[in-house]
Amino acid sequence: MAENKKKQSILSQKDLHLFLRILKSNWWVPLVVIPIFYAMGSFYVYRLITVYKASTEFLLKSQDIYYQGNVVTDANFYNYGTYVDNLNEKRIIQSYDLSRKVVEKLLDKLQVSYFIVGKVRTTEQFTGMPFKITINKINPIYYEQIFDFRIIDYDSYEIIFEQNGNKISKKGNFNKELIDTDLLLTINRTDIFTQAKVRDFKTLFYQFSVHTHDYLINNIRGNLEIENPEYTNILKIDLKDILPERAVLILDTLNSVYAMSKLKTKFELNERTISYIDLQLDQITYSLKSIEDTMQNYKTNRSIIDLDWERSDFLSKIGTYDNQKSNINLQLEALNDLEKYIIEDKDPQFLPPNVFVTEKQGFMLQAVTDLYTKQIELNQLYNVAKENNPLINDLKASVKKTKQDLLVYINNTRKASAQQIENLNKEILTYINAAKLIPGKQRDILTIQRKANVNEQLYNFLLEKRASTKIARASIVPDVKLVEPPRYIGIDSPDKGKILKQFISAAVLLIIIIIVIRSLFYSKIKTVEHLKELTNLPLIGVLPLLKNSESEGIVVDQLPNSLIAESFRNFRTNLQYANIGIDAKTFLVTSFLPGEGKTFTSVNLATILARSGKRTVLLELDLHKPRIFRRFGLAAQEKGITTFITGQNSINEIISETSVPNLFAMFAGPIPPNPSEFVLSERMKDLINYAKQNFDYVIIDTPPAGLLSDSVYLIHHVDASIFVLNTKSSSKKVITFIEELIENNNLQNIHLLLNGVKHIGKRYYYQGYGYSYGYGYGYGYGKGYGRKK
């Protein structure tokens, strides 16, 4: 079964008809809108000021230096090749101070802007002007004001400007200063201003403007763009300007000023380094002198000549005193031995030998020698004489006396030696204490000497670095290297192609909006398919488009074999099928607006019904503007429906036979001042009921429903109503009105008739009425509006 199912195409015939209908009714919209928008876009682009862009590139932290031996590399004290932070460099380049230096260098070229005024736009010029303005003094209120400038002749000119709302004119001579209370300037001719070109320059209209420093600085800063490509030390600087040659000049000057600022920083750093070294040298010189004075004072105050010599002298004296002390102690021992010898009265042969070692001459040696001699003599006398020998007694007395003298001498000598030893100990102690002071003095002297050595080394180091820093000054170069000199790289804005595309896109959007709005609200219903797309109301017939001359009179009677006559016959047939089971015999014909063909439809429908042998009456209830009588070639009727309503005539008196068999008419009669009240009268109901009872068909022509409510009231008194839609005027708005009218008034049996269709073709007549217009299929019968409850 699935194989037997028909595949639905993506684009149905209905969709194709819709597309072709929209295209056919709106083909002129793009042909009108697109050229207009393209012309508008072209004119807009032409009026826009073109902004150009110039660019330059340079490398940061270039190592192009010759001499690298300076205080930095040798002592980590000072370095020119410091780390370069690209973000900081970008801020420096965009700084106010750097832009100010650029403006100061280019002030004579940037302070005044020159313009040539054209018919459509004013163009700024940077070169090629026949004159040059030098501002000596100007009132601040005239900054950024436009001055009109006109060349009078080869020698003179005129300036026009605004002051307090008034136009002020000043005339001056070229190459001479113009002196005014508010202006002090000189306008000089340039090389291109010659006698031969005066006539050409006089025809041009010039303007100029004078700028403040801040304006120029902020203009440069605002149009600078700095980019740092990733992983590089390259800075790309772009400058936007309406004059490319000015942008290139500013960038070139900016490069120069930036490089000089880097050099200036290095030179200042070099000078500060040398000044610092000189200051340090002065301080170290003073310090060395102070140390020398300290050393001299120290030696003078402490009587220091030579510490090494003093050390040797102290040791020598201490040794000498120790030797003297030893000799004295040796003498004391000899004296002690001698004293012991004397006291013990020993054998003279055992006289202590140290007596002769310590005492080389003097009393003691003589006395000891004498004692020794006397004792020897005494011993010899004992050998030859008796104890009582006077010689022995005299000799003993002499020995005894000598011993007493020696003991006295020994005692005195011992005392003298003790005193001498005490003096020697004092001397030794003095020299020992003096020797103990030598290391402290030596330490102090070494400390002072060390300070002197440190300062001498630093002095020599700074002298060396001062020389290397001065040498390094000759090798200082900027740490930026120009990679790409300033050059013009193209137009930055506006993107004329993009703007034109935007205008075209706006045109396309507007075209779409217009087509959508026209299709939804203002699109005229030209075809049956279009009408079917808009509503489910039943379509009862389609009438072809007629020329104005053919639409006059009763065409179905005048041209019975024409397409319009055939269309009315189909209309009659469809009307009969559409009202099966209703037994409809009273039909109301109306429209939304005048001129849609309701009266034309009423007359011809009544005629085609009468031609079928049915007694038909035509009621002209458009009392506001009756016209049916003209269709029958009659003059305005003096009696009719209005005279019946007013009681002037009876119904039979107002019924008129027409030239068409079985067709009768009740004309409107004289136009009353209040037609709508006549329609609402009870006698109108009686008139309609009479027509229903005495005729097979009743056709009622009413006023347009979109203007008057008469037809809405009358719809409730008929079996079916026919709304005539004309392809020249009917749109979605009309369908919406009819549907709201049906919904709000609970109307039934409402049918549509499409009038004025071009190229109606034969398909409306030979496809079978049951499908195209037939009951239950074609245009909504049984599915929506028009079903009888």
For residue range 334-358, list pLDDT tens digits in order.
777 777 777 776 655 555 555 554 5
Lowest mean pLDDT segment, chosen from 145-159, 301-315, 735-749 = 301-315
The pLDDT of residue 344: 72
Tell the residue number behind the tokens 């009266």, with chain if given: 599
The pLDDT of residue 590: 94
CB 318 within 8 A of CB 433: no
Q: Identify which has the larger pLDDT, 749 or 473.
A: 749
Lowest mean pLDDT segment, chosen from 209-213, 343-347, 745-749 = 343-347
| Average predicted confidence (pLDDT) for the chain | 81
pLDDT digits (tens, 9 = 90+) for 362-387: 677 777 777 777 777 777 777 777 77
The pLDDT of residue 398: 81
- pLDDT at residue 100 is higher than 50: yes
- pLDDT at residue 758 is higher than 70: yes
Say which residues have a Cβ less than 8 Å from residue 247's Cβ, sequence separation at least 6.
Answer: 52, 53, 54, 239, 240, 241, 486, 488
Confidence class for position 667, pLDDT limits 50, 70, 90? very high
Lowest mean pLDDT segment, chosen from 12-26, 118-132, 520-534, 759-773 = 759-773
Confidence class for position 441, pLDDT limits 50, 70, 90? low
The pLDDT of residue 587: 94
Q: Torsions phi, psi of 51, nearest 5?
A: -105, 125
Asked if residue 494 has a cis previous peptide bond (ω within 30° of 0), the answer is: yes
The pLDDT of residue 451: 75
Tokens representing residue 569 in the block: 């016959």
Bridge partners for 171 per DSSP: 158
The pLDDT of residue 208: 94
- pLDDT at residue 127 is higher than 70: yes
Q: What does the DSSP 8-state code read for residue 659?
A: S
Q: Identify which has the larger pLDDT, 136 or 470.
A: 136
Q: Torsions phi, psi of 715, nearest 5?
A: -60, -35
Q: Identify which has the larger pLDDT, 773 or 460.
A: 460
Q: What is the DSSP string of 184-230?
A: EEEEEE-TT--GGGHHHHHTSEEEEEE--HHHHHHHHHHHEEEE--T
pLDDT digits (tens, 9 = 90+) for 240-272: 999 999 999 999 999 888 888 877 777 877 888
Q: Which H/E stretch holds residue 683?
A: helix 682-694
Terminal Cα-to-Cα distance of the chain (whole angstroms): 40
Q: For every residue of 267-314, which 3-state class applies, written as one string?
A: HHHHHHHHHHHHHHHHHHHHHHHHHHHHHHHHHHHCCCCCHHHHHHHH
- pLDDT at residue 775 is higher than 60: no
The pLDDT of residue 423: 86
- pLDDT at residue 2 is higher than 70: no
Confidence class for position 393, pLDDT limits 50, 70, 90? confident
CB 554 within 8 A of CB 660: yes
- Burial of 543 per CB tally in 10 Å (0-12, 13-18, 19+): buried
Q: Torsions phi, psi of 612, nearest 5?
A: -85, 5
The pLDDT of residue 784: 36
Q: For every residue of 413-439, which 3-state class applies, written as one string?
A: HHHHHHHHHHHHHHHHHHHHHHHHHHH
The pLDDT of residue 152: 93
The reported pTM is: 0.56
* Cβ count near 638 (within 10 Å): 11
- pLDDT at residue 648 is higher than 60: yes
- pLDDT at residue 275 is higher than 70: yes
Q: For the chain, give the percent of residues with pLDDT over 70.
A: 84
Q: What is the DSSP string of 311-370?
A: HHHHHHHHHHHHHHHHHHHHHHHHHHHHHHHHHHT--GGG--THHHHH-SSSHHHHHHHH
pLDDT digits (tens, 9 = 90+) for 654-663: 999 998 999 9
- pLDDT at residue 184 is higher than 60: yes
The pLDDT of residue 768: 37
What span, in angstroms and rounded, lies between the C-alpha atoms of 324 and 590?
Answer: 169
pLDDT digits (tens, 9 = 90+) for 609-647: 999 999 999 999 999 999 888 888 888 888 999 999 999
Q: Identify which has the larger pLDDT, 589 or 84.
A: 589
- pLDDT at residue 69 is higher than 60: no
Say which residues have a Cβ less than 8 Å from residue 140's Cβ, sequence separation at least 6.
Answer: 212
pLDDT digits (tens, 9 = 90+) for 675-686: 889 989 999 999
> Once rounded to an integer, what is the mean pLDDT over residues 479-503?
86
The pLDDT of residue 558: 86
Among candidates 480, 472, 457, which has minimal Cα distance to 73?
A: 472
Q: Which H/E stretch holds residue 456?
A: helix 390-473
Q: Identify which has the larger pLDDT, 293 or 626.
A: 626
The pLDDT of residue 78: 43
The pLDDT of residue 456: 84
The pLDDT of residue 772: 35
CB 96 within 8 A of CB 221: yes
CB 133 within 8 A of CB 185: yes
The pLDDT of residue 10: 62
